[in-house]
Chains A and B, each alone.
Chain A
Amino acid sequence: MRWGWLALAAMLLAYPWLVAGSASGAFLQDMGALVLLAAIGAAAWNVLGGYAGQISVGHAMFFGAGAYMPLLVYQHWQLPPLLGMPLGVAASLVVAIIIGFPTFRLSGHYFSMATIAVAELVRIVVGNWDFLGAAIGLQGPATARGWYDFVFRSAVPYYYLFLGVLALLLLVTWQMQRSRLGYYLRAVRAGERAARSLGVPVRRYKLYALMLSAGFTSLAGSLYALKTGFVDPDSGLGILVSVQMIIIAALGGAGTLLGPLLGAMILVPLQTATNTWLGGSGSGLTYIVYGGVIVLIARFEPGGLVELWHRQATARLMRRGEARHAA
């Protein structure tokens, strides 16, 4: 198991260097950065949706808060975009409390409905507010004034920045899994009434999970803004931003540590490939497939690929055990 982790870490660290020699090296490095970014968003969603079982369908609002703030401080006050990151996290936490505090008393459906309604509310308001760029959006610095602007031509610096944040998030998630918070959240997911009757402060711990999730989602949004240097209501706050996080986490395995990374490794290259083959007209088709895949996961395998793999591995072990028994 420990060797598996080391191999994964070594592979992720060496990836930009390994593909650098190939003809499409820059393209592959860029895609690697995109995979990691998508994995950060999905892993952040996973803390709440996977571990605590509270399904947000509006995480785009936290992503958007993180994406808008860095570009906002640059556009209006020419400050380094990096300074907007904590503002994005702060805004996300405020919104998280506004939604979570009232809805976590109620059935989980209320939380899901509130997330999509508030996300839509934020998108409409931002799309009509000139200070926030309205429908046109905000731009970051075109060329770096110094290292602190985080504008690089190559994707490699972004790759390692994203890798660092992903490692931090997975470390936090792993620690959470083994801590009181993790046990409480799994108890809440398995049965809220039972958890409450055993003395778990359900509402408070769901709020903790939401705030942790919202904060890291906001970081993902900031990293996106640093890399692309541009955000508008669709790319920062649209419903498809939320869909992307959900489908990656659910495909890989909601409530597992590495599920989101696995999901991102499968989905992002697939998405890039379909966009290249089908061109602009293919984007609609992509989302038909996304919808279909989400329905199929919900219907047949809510645990995602990690769960499927675990089951197969267990079955194989059982068979091997039986064979030895027979001999």
Chain B
Amino acid sequence: MILLQVVVGGLLLGAVYALFSSGLTLIWGMMNFINFAHGEFVMLGMYAALLAVLWIGGGPVVFGLAAALGLFLLGVIVYFALIREVMRGPMLAQILSTFGLALLLRYAAFWIFSPNFITLPHTALAGTINLAGILISIPQLVAGLAAAVLATLMHVALMRTAVGSQLRAVAEDRTAAMLMGIRPDRMQALAWGLAAASAGIAGALMAISFPFSPAVGETFALTAFVVVTLGGFGSVPGAMLAGLIVGLIQALSAYWFGPIYKDVVVYGLFVALLWLRPQGLLGTA
């Protein structure tokens, strides 16, 4: 019974991983670019939720939207102020730009919010429900389900809407898309906004049930790297599947080997993947 409970908890957290990793893989698909500050975007989503609760009040819908909106704006600003220029530069500039941004955001958060762990003051969500003998905490259930719905919505929007096809067109062939009258610049800015917003909501959802500090971003960035590699770079459905798998592996290794080793197992999996199947589960070489 406890094992089943661990599995459910892992899958619910995995759904949140799937949500923020979808953002990272979307940007990779669009422009072959890895955002090293993606974990910091998740962390900022947590603090955006905190500020929204303190200043506006209201439930998860309010602070979820606030985190999404705030991070969407940040993503668009980062694209226009930084990414658009460094894309033309050498590899050094591409990687160091977001690596430096990650440091800047992390230590600015240290400075503003202090390095201590905090929790959201109080939310409408609390308690556990008993599903056929399995105890599930309501905040985690809500976070997992909301993340699963949002990640699926993102995938459907990419596949079924006009803007989604334009995004995919730019990812497929930038020049051809331009000849069809699509502005790649706008689409890439939109992708950065969406990616940051997905990270922001994911952060807000995790903030409901877990305490957080400015340092948590690095772990989330690495988790997203593993998820995106496992799912196949640029594949949103792959990231969704891989997110659930990574959440499950983490929960099981924490249960079997102890909580310190949950990240060790996941990062080890990453190195193994690089050796054995760098194209991921759903990717092609």
Distance in Å: Cβ of A143 to nearest Cβ of chain B: 36
**Chain A: minimal CB distance from B90 (Å):** 6
Find out whether the CB atom of B100 lies under 8 angstroms from the CB atom of A55. no
Structural contact, A117 and B92, CB atoms closer than 8 A: no
Q: Give Cα distance in the complex from A296 to B101, angstroms.
A: 10
**CB within 8 A of A110: which of B89, B94, B278?**
B278
How big is the B interface, by class?
35 or more
Question: Can you identify 24 A-B contacts, CB atoms within 8 angstroms?
Answer: A49-B92, A53-B90, A53-B91, A55-B95, A102-B274, A103-B278, A112-B36, A113-B270, A117-B270, A118-B267, A120-B267, A124-B263, A125-B264, A189-B90, A284-B111, A290-B100, A290-B103, A291-B101, A291-B103, A292-B100, A295-B82, A295-B96, A298-B82, A302-B96
Known: A291-B105, A293-B100, A298-B94. 18 other contacts (CB 8 A): A54-B91, A101-B275, A103-B278, A110-B278, A116-B221, A116-B222, A120-B263, A120-B267, A124-B264, A125-B264, A288-B107, A294-B97, A294-B99, A294-B103, A298-B82, A298-B89, A302-B89, A302-B90
Instruction: Give complex CA distance A262, B140 in Å.
Output: 51
| Least distance between A282 CB and chain B CB atoms (Å) | 10
A103 to B225, CA, bound (A): 14
**Shortest distance from the beta carbon of A246 to any chain B beta carbon, whole Å:** 7
Residues of A within 8 A of B97 (CB): 294-295, 298-299
As a 0/1 sequence over residues 97 to 113 of chain B, the CB contacts with chain A under 8 angstroms (1 = contact) are: 10111111111101100
Residues on B with beta carbons closer than 8 Å to the beta carbon of A53:
90-92
B93, CB-defined interface residue at 8 Å = yes
Quick one: CB contact mask for A96-119 with B, threshold 8 Å, 1 for yes? 001101110111111011101110
- Determine which residue in B86, B115, B271 has the highest number of CB atoms from chain A within 10 A of its CB, and name it: B271
How far is B158's CA from A198's CA once the two chains are assembled, in angstroms?
A: 40
- Nearest first, the 6 closest Cβ-Cβ pairs linking A and B are A294-B100, A291-B104, A291-B103, A298-B97, A295-B100, A287-B107
Residue of B nearest to A121 (CB): B267
Q: Which residue from chain B places its CB closest to the CB of A290 in the assembled complex?
A: B103
Distance, CA A53 to CA B106, complexed state (A): 26
**B181 at interface (Cβ–Cβ under 8 A)?**
no
Min distance, Cβ B215 to any Cβ of chain A, angstroms: 10
CB distance from B179 to the nearest CB of A (A): 24
Contact: B103 with A107, CB < 8 Å? no
CB-based contact A118/B271 at 8 Å: yes
Is A107 a contact of B86 with CB atoms below 8 Å? no
- CB-nearest residue of chain A to B108: A288
Task: Enumerate A124-168 residues with CB–CB distance to B below 8 Å.
Answer: 124-125, 128
Once A49-B92, A55-B91 are accepted as A-B contacts, the answer to whether A284 and B263 lie under 8 Å apart by CB is no
Given contacts A298-B89, A302-B89, contact A114 B96 (CB under 8 A): no
* Chain B residue nearest in CB terms to A113: B225
Most central of A98, A117, A288 by chain B CB within 10 Å: A117
The answer to whether A181 has its CB under 8 Å from any CB of chain B is no
> In the complex, A63 Cα to B263 Cα: how many Å?
22
Interface size on A, residues (CB 8 A): 49
Chain A positions within 8 Å of B95 at CB level: 55, 57, 108-109, 112
CB distance from A284 to the nearest CB of B (A): 5
Chain A contacts of B221 at CB under 8 A?
A: 116
Task: Please tell me if A265 contacts chain B, counting CB pairs below 8 Å.
Answer: no
Contacts of B32 in A (CB 8 A): 107, 109
Out of B96, B101, B103, B267, which one reaches A117, CB within 8 Å?
B267
Q: Any chain A CB within 8 A of the CB of B167?
A: no
- CB < 8 Å: which of A57, A120, A287 contacts B36? A57
Residue among A102, A254, A290 with the highest chain B CB neighbour number at 10 A: A102
Which parts of A271-319 form the interface with B (CB within 8 Å)?
284-285, 287-288, 290-299, 302
Contact string, A70-97, partner B, CB cutoff 8 A, digits 1/0?
0000000000000000000000000000
- A105 close to B278 (CB less than 8 A): yes
A187 sits at the interface (CB 8 A): no
What residues on B are CB-neighbors of A299 within 8 Å? 82, 85-86, 93, 97
B147 to chain A, nearest CB (A): 23
B34 part of interface (Cβ distance < 8 Å): yes
Q: Which of A49, A102, A291, A295 has the most CB atoms of chain B within a 10 A radius of its CB?
A: A295
Q: Does the CB pair A298–B100 fall under 8 Å? A: yes
From B222, which residue of chain A is reached at the shortest CB distance? A117
CA distance A108 to B225 in the complex (A): 14
Cα(A190)–Cα(B153), bound, Å: 40
Q: Which residues of B contact A107 (CB under 8 A)?
A: 32
Contacts of B90 in A (CB 8 A): 53, 189, 302
A226 on the interface (CB 8 Å rule)?
no
Residue of A nearest to B86 (CB): A298
- A98-B271, A117-B226, A124-B264 known; A254-B92 Cβ under 8 A: yes
Q: A225: CB under 8 A from chain B?
A: no
- A212: Cβ under 8 A from any B Cβ: no
Q: Do B222 and A284 touch (CB < 8 A)?
A: no
Q: Chain B 136-163 against A: per-residue CB contact (8 Å), 1 yes, 0 no?
A: 0000000000000000000000000000
Check B89 against A288 for contact (C-beta < 8 Å): no
A243 within 8 A of B: yes
List of B residues within 8 angstroms of A243 by Cβ: 103
Instruction: Out of A99, A106, A239, A291, name the residue touching B100 (CB < 8 Å).
Output: A291
> Is A250 an interface residue, CB under 8 A from the partner?
yes
B96 A55 Cβ-Cβ under 8 A:
yes
**Which residues of A have CB within 8 Å of B96?**
55, 246, 250, 294-295, 297-298, 302
Question: CA–CA, A283 to B218, complex, Å?
Answer: 19
Provide the bound-state CA to CA distance between A269 and B242, in Å: 46
A257 to B222, CA, bound (A): 33
